[in-house]
Each structure stands twice: as structure tokens, then as C-alpha cells.
Amino acid sequence: MKKIIQYLNLTAIIFLSACSSYVNETVTYQINEPILMSTDEFRSSVKISTTPQVIETKGKICYYNGYLYISEPGKGIHIINDTDPRNPVNVGFIELLGNGDLAIRNNILYADSYIDLVWFDINNPAQPTLQGRLENVFPEALPLFDNDYNYDYEMCYKATQSHENVIVGWTVEERTEEIENYTGGWDWHWGYYDDDVALTENSSGTSSNGTNGSMSRFAQKDSLLYTVLNNQMSVFDLSNDKAEKVAEDIYIGWNVETIFSYKDNLFMGTPTGMVIYSAANPLQPVYLSSISHVYGCDPVVVSDDKAYVTVYSGNNCEQDTNKLMIIDVSDAANPKQLVSYNMTKPMGLGIDNDRLFLCDDGLKVFTITDSATLASQTEPKQYIKQIKHYSGYEGYDLIPINNIVMLIAEDGIYQYDYSDINDIKYISKISFGN
């Protein structure tokens, strides 16, 4: 999610001139300056530990062959043995600077590490081994901010052009400058940064691919991996021992937050709507259509030719709309919104058969109704019917698979058994922090 922030945002002493339409302004402000690490040190910093590490914060999730893989933003990947969902066990950790997303294919885990794509053999999930790295494939990747200040773009650009350094953090510096400005009003400069939110045929059903949550920026279609960062899409071939970048980066034109693969199309969530690209030619996805909504954060999943999109509010979205939207994408070139429902703060979501699972004031579970049972035209169409609600925490993302829904929240990982949809049961939790 892109957040708009003010670049010059503290004090200004204005010196007026009677004969000019401009003023001199002395401005004091805070700005993020990059912390650098040499690329050699950065690329040798990967560590694999069979000693589990405490999970401190929520992140992206991926499920594969009885194991959950949890990306803790910027730090690395936690490995959870979930073969018994009633007793999940934290069994290891991959320390991977700058990690945000991951995907799994044929016992190989692929993950971003700031500017690089890195992969690990997980035939023994508790003891992964580093297998390879593609360097400089995500050149615009930057660490997250923990403040509302802009960053020094020129300083970052100069520091990384030689590929001898990687930006691994930020230090806040105060600056005072005198600038010339037009007297018609303040000339604010605006900057942007990425939030920690969300491509997958997440419910592909194939045993060779992992299943990602809806917040992911990684997705798979057959042996191809699609990744999105800011407004760029990259395509990688995973069919060989080494991942290979097989196409030029594709400029999307929106700041893409999440991406989902369905049939021959790629569905992307952006701050202003859902964008659909055709992947009929898998190496050259092309723009197909889009549908707009209010400015907000939004993951998307697709099933049975219907896209389910959540729009949620918060500090990073600058609005207070919270909705679940259902969109007809049977004609992907002409998507049509069917209905929207008010929610509390909907975030990640997933579908298993005719059940919709949604992070909203905890976990909500819905039956997806058949079109033949819809209400009359004079009443709102009921495309979904809520059948269960577990409240009391703020959910972030989830994966429903094999009658278990695995949900990552602000305070931990919750799991529920829905083998009996009329009697969904909470079965376990891994808490975050000590």
C-alpha cells in the first residue's frame, strides 16, 4: 500500500518581497537517509538455524506439504511443522535480510531478499539449504519505514548505482534549507513508501506448488513465478535447477499490492482498484481491464469466475471505507461489480469450494450461495451468507486448505478445523513475542 506523506512538514519562516511573486522559505524537516551494507556482506549474511526463533510480527504466509512458512518482514522466514494442526511446532528459521514474500515449487522455496531472488532446498523442511541467488533483479526494493518521513531519493540512487552497496535501513536526519517558492500557496513535495502488505494461483490444488495467502506479491502459473513490486511485474522460470528471469520487467502503471492467478489471467490489487492482465502468452502479460473503487488497501482472490476484493481503512490508506466487493469476471475484459458489503476492517481472504473465509474482526466464514437462490431484484442480492464469526483479534491473512484454515493475526497464528462446516472449531494458536 502506498502512503502519501509530506516532505516539508515542520517550520517555515517566510520572507516577503513586495516586488516579487516568490518568497524565500527557511524550512526545517526530518528525512530518512539510507544505511548501507556492502553487497558482499549482504549476500553472505544468510543463516539457517534449526533453533526456532520467536516470531515478533505478522507477515506473508505459505503452506506446503504439512509445513507453514512465515515471512517476518525484513528478517527472514520461520518454519512451522503443521502436520498436526492441533499441535504446530516452530522448528527453524532462515535469516534473510530484506525478505517480504515467498513461493514454493517442487521442494524449492523462493524468496526475495531486497534486490535479489534467493532459493532454498526444503526436501528436509527443518533443515533447508541455500541453493542459489539471482542478483539485482529487484533494483527498486527498499526497507520499510517506521516513521512518516520521506527518504532522500538522490542519496539512495547514487549509493546503489555501482551495485557495491545495498540499502538495509534508515537513519533520520534533520535538515534546514532555504528554498524559493511561489507565494500563491505552499509548494509541498510529496513522497511515497510501501506498506508491508499484497500473486498466487493460491488454490491451484497442484501438489508441486505451495499455497500462498492473499496478501502475497508472488504468484505461480505452472512453472512461472510472477512477482510485483511497486508498479513493476517480473517473470521468472522455475522449471530448471536455477531460477531464470525470462522477460523484461512489465510496467503496470499502478502501485500493485497483491496479485492472484486464475485461469489465463492475473488479478492485481492496487490502491484504487483491481487490474486484470491476460497471461494467455505467459511470458508477455498484457493489460486487459480494470475496475475502480475508493482509495484503499485491497487483496483479491478469484473463484468460479467471481473476484472477491476487500477494501480496508487504516493509517496507510487515508480513508475509512471497509467493504467486501464481489465482481463478475466471467468476461475478464469487462468486469462488473455485483455487490458490496460493509465490513469492520476486512483484510486477507480465501476460498475453499463454496466457503469464503475472511479476516474481519477476527475470522468470518461465509457460504457462497448459488445464483439460483439469489433474492429478488428489489432486495440486495445475497451472494454470501455468514455462518460463523470468531472475534477478539485483528486478522491479517489466511489460507484455507485440507479442512484447516490457518490465519495470521497481529498477535499470532490461529488455526480452525472446518471439516464440519456447521461446527467449525478453534484448535490451536502460536503466539507472537515472548
Mind listing the pLDDT tens digit for each residue in 126-170?
Answer: 999 999 999 999 988 888 888 888 988 899 888 888 889 999 999
- Is 220 a domain residue? yes
- Rounded Cα distance between 108 and 229, Å, is 22
Residues 328 and 180 in one domain: no
- Is 142 a domain residue? no
* Identity of the amino acid at 53: Q
Q: Band of the pLDDT at 381, cuts 50, 70, 90? A: low
- Is 378 a domain residue? yes
- How many structural domains compose the chain? 2
Average pLDDT, integer, range 339-347: 91
pLDDT score recorded for residue 149:
87
N residues, the chain: 434
Most confident of 147-151, 206-210, 373-377: 147-151
Grid coordinates of 76: 527472514
Q: What is the 3-state secondary structure (H, E, C) of the chain?
A: CEEEEECCCCEEEEECCCCCCEEEEEEEEEEEEEEEEEHHHHHCCCEEECCCCCCCCCCCEEEECCEEEEEECCCEEEEEECCCCCCCEEEEEEECCCCCCEEEECCEEEEEECCEEEEEECCCCCCCEEEEEECCCCCCCCCCCCCCCCECHHHHHHHHCCCCEEEEEEEEEEEEEEEEEECCCCCCCEEEEECCCCCECCCCCCCCECEECCCCCEEEECCEEEEEECCEEEEEECCCCCCEECCCCEECCCCCCEEEEECCEEEEEECCEEEEEECCCCCCCEEEEEEECCCCECCEEEECCEEEEEEECECCCCECCCEEEEEECCCCCCCEEEEEEECCCCCCEEEECCEEEEECCCEEEEEECCHHHCCCCCCCCCCEEEEEEECCCCEEEEEEECCEEEEEECCEEEEEECCCCCCCEEEEEEECCC
Average pLDDT, integer, range 4-16: 35
Sheet architecture: strand order including 412-417: 395-401, 404-409, 412-417, 425-431
- Rounded Cα distance between 45 and 28, Å, is 37
> Whole domain around residue 188: which residue ranges?
2-31+147-194
Residues 74 and 131 in one domain: yes
Max CA separation in the chain (angstroms): 79
- Rounded Cα distance between 283 and 280, Å, is 9
pLDDT score recorded for residue 63:
98
- Is 295 a domain residue? yes
Q: Band of the pLDDT at 98, cuts 50, 70, 90? A: very high
- As a whole-number percent, the residues of the chain with pLDDT over 70 amount to 82
Residues 305 and 379 in one domain: yes
- Is 11 a domain residue? yes
Residues 211 and 131 in one domain: yes
Instruction: Among 194, 213, 228, identify where a domain stops.
Output: 194
- Rounded Cα distance between 355 and 401, Å, is 11
- Is 13 a domain residue? yes
Residues 66 and 24 in one domain: no
Residues 21 and 49 in one domain: no
What tens digit of pLDDT does each residue of 218-242 get? Answer: 999 999 999 998 889 999 999 998 9
Specify the CATH number for the domain of residue 199.
2.130.10.10
**Cα angle for residues 257, 258, 262 (degrees, 5° grid):** 150
Whole-model pTM: value is 0.85
Q: Band of the pLDDT at 199, cuts 50, 70, 90? A: very low
- Is 250 a domain residue? yes
Residues 298 and 384 in one domain: yes
Residues 16 and 63 in one domain: no
Residues 171 and 206 in one domain: no
Residues 222 and 364 in one domain: yes
Cβ-contact 51, 95 below 8 angstroms: no
What tens digit of pLDDT does each residue of 245-287 get? Answer: 999 999 998 788 899 999 999 999 988 889 999 999 999 999 9
- Rounded Cα distance between 16 and 24, Å, is 7
pLDDT score recorded for residue 19:
45
The more confident residue out of 434 and 303 is 303
- Is 270 a domain residue? yes
- Give Cβ neighbours of residue 332 (< 8 Å, ≥ 6 apart): 265, 276, 278, 288, 289
What tens digit of pLDDT does each residue of 19-36 get? Answer: 445 677 788 889 999 999
What is the overall mean pLDDT for the chain?
A: 84
Residues 92 and 179 in one domain: no
Grid coordinates of 405: 484454515
| pLDDT score of 313 more than 80 | no
Residues 390 and 261 in one domain: yes
